[in-house]
């Protein structure tokens, strides 16, 4: 899969996804300090799923009507790198094929899918 990982999600998520064989673009490496609409636009142009901890992406998608190829919003109680990686691992193992073109909110114990609008 193709992902764009926001700065808020951390280096460990980027490294895990790369090691798992995914095509990953890191905001930290490629577009440091870019604003959210620029990140979402680039992900859309490159057909990447955004992984973020920033709920502003929900506002862009649902209130702003921004197009996307998928957004994974992590809303975690435990923000450690290991928990972020564990959460993404579980998400990919259980729901990976359902991520494209969906807005997904994932917590330690729940996954909620919203259709693309």
SS (H, E, C) 32-93: CCCCHHHHHHHHHHCCCEEEECCCHHHHHHHHCCCCCCCEEEECCCCCCHHHHHHHHHHHHH
Per-residue pLDDT tens digits for 29-47: 999 889 999 999 999 999 9
Q: List pLDDT tens digits, range 60-99.
A: 999 999 999 999 999 999 999 999 999 999 999 999 999 9
| Structural domains of the chain in order of their starting residue, each with its CATH number | 2-115 (3.40.50)
Confirm if 44 and 68 have CB atoms less than 8 A apart.
Answer: yes
3 state SS of 105: strand
Of the candidates 57, 27, 60, the residue with the CA atom closest to the CA atom of residue 42: 27
Please choose, from the candidates 39, 46, 41, the residue with its C-alpha nearest in 3D space to the C-alpha of residue 6: 39
């Amino acid at each position: 899969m193709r992902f764009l990982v926001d700065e808020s999600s951390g280096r460990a998520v980027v490294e895990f996804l790369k090691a798992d064989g995914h095509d990953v673009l890191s905001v930290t490496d490629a577009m440091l300090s870019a604003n959210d609409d620029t990140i979402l636009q680039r992900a859309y142009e490159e057909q990447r799923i955004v992984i973020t901890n920033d709920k502003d992406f929900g506002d862009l998608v649902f209130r702003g009507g921004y197009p996307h190829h998928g957004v994974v919003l992590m809303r975690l109680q435990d923000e450690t790198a290991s928990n972020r990686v564990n959460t993404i691992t579980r998400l990919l193992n259980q729901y990976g094929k359902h991520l494209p073109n969906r807005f997904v909110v994932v917590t330690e114990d729940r996954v909620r899918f919203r259709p693309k609008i």
